[in-house]
Amino acid sequence: MTERIDWLEPSSRLTQRLRVWLEGLLRILPISHVSQLTGLHWHTLKTLDKRRLEAEVGDFEPGTVRRLVMDEFALHKGHRYATVIMDAERTRVLWVGHGNSREAIRPFFELLGERCQQIEAVAMDMNTAFDLEVKQHCPQAEVVYDLFHVVARYGREVIDRIRVDQANLLRDDKPARKVVKRSRWLLLRNAENLKDSQAVQLQELLAANQPLATVYVLKDALKEVWYAPSVWEGWQRWRAWLRQARDSGLAPLQRFAKNLRRYIRGILASANFPMHTSLLEGVNNRIKVIKRMAYGFRDSDYFFLKIKAAFPGKAR
């Protein structure tokens, strides 16, 4: 014979009041801290927290989403990745899944179903094959390539390459070579983020080295293509930048410009859809914090639920 008690769930060892108190603690503290505080086992608390998250954010409810942002993040060491997709207008994480390939994001669009037709634009990194999957499921959507990733790629493929080449040319002038070799962050960082002493160092470096001055100036000019008020103005800025890159005589810059031409439609689309994956850079930083708090996650489903709960979104 059993008796139903309203303050105790069936087969549970935790009272309703204790469960609510623990769930409140687990919203703000790592499981290990709550375990030390309460004396409850780590797995008991993890199971409780995962059940709460499944009830709160486990269902796929995209709502009237119109613009998406997607990006990848490192899941574990050894080049294992996951992909996160966010509603750009409400800054709400809609979906997180394993992998960073075209096939990896297909389940998201299958869940989206007929609502794919309401998607207007999708922002992404141009180094992925996400655009092919977007065009298959949302043919009317405009792909917008992200400024942040393009500038990062420019830094790796152009600025770093030119800097190394210039340092190699200065082997007989060790002081000057040392200055060039140590100039990476001066060249990559935005001018407004430099200290006064760093700004002076940068100006002295650019005055003494024409190739570095050229790639530095064209880095800022490239950003202006994304900030154009219209597609036509963006096209004019792009043509001017491309002409300067071709005339520079710098092979790394010329190669970069040639490769970038394939993505010009998605670059110019930023004039009509001014959105970018910097939204997800904030998400990625928060993901790192969540991982540190838990000292890593072995249960990926639980980890993904924590990510979704951290970004519930805002009212449109």
List, for residues 287-316, the tens digit of each pLDDT value: 888 777 655 567 888 889 998 998 888 765
pLDDT band for position 1 (cuts 50, 70, 90): very low
Specify the pLDDT at position 121. 95
> pLDDT category, 78, cuts 50, 70, 90?
low
Same domain, 282 and 206: no
The last residue of a domain, from among 39, 57, 75: 57
CA distances from 187 to 135, 202, 224 (A): 36, 7, 17
Lowest mean pLDDT among 2-6, 39-43, 55-59, 221-225: 2-6
* Count of CB atoms situated within 10 Å of the CB of 30: 17
Q: Name the phi and psi angles at 15, rounded to 5.
A: -70, 160
Mean per-residue pLDDT of the chain = 88
Q: Is residue 315 part of a domain?
A: no
Q: Are residues 208 and 118 located together in one domain of the fold?
A: no
In a domain, 87, yes or no: yes
Kindly give the pairing relationship between strand 92-98 and strand 80-87: antiparallel
Name the domain count of the chain.
3
Same domain, 162 and 265: yes
Backbone angles phi, psi at 180, to 5 degrees: -65, -45
> Within this chain, do residues 210 and 160 fall inside the same structural domain, yes or no?
yes
Q: Which domain holds residue 236?
A: 148-271
Instruction: Compute the average pLDDT of residues 119-140.
Output: 90
Task: Examine residue 316 and state whether it is found in any structural domain, yes or no.
Answer: no
Inside any domain, residue 73: yes
Q: 174 and 265: one domain?
A: yes
- Domain shared by 103 and 194, yes or no: no
Q: Is residue 6 part of a domain?
A: no
Same domain for 266 and 288, yes or no, is no
Stretch among 11-25, 26-40, 84-98, 202-216 having the lowest mean pLDDT: 11-25
**Residue 10 covered by a domain:** no
Residues 262 and 280 in one domain: no
Using one digit for the tens of pLDDT, what is the confidence trace for 13-64?
778 888 889 999 999 888 889 999 999 999 889 989 999 999 999 999 888 9
152 shares a domain with 120: no
40 within domain boundaries:
yes
Q: Which two tokens stand for residue 67?
A: 């613009």
- Please name the residue that has the structure tokens 């990194």: 125
Same domain, 120 and 140: yes
For residues 152 and 256, the answer to whether their CB atoms sit within 8 Å is no
Check whether residue 124 and residue 138 sit in a common domain.
yes
What is the structure's pLDDT at 286?
82
Specify the pLDDT at position 106: 95
Q: Is residue 9 part of a domain?
A: no
* pLDDT band, residue 9 (cuts 50/70/90): low
Looking at the fold, whether 263 and 158 belong to one and the same domain comes out as yes
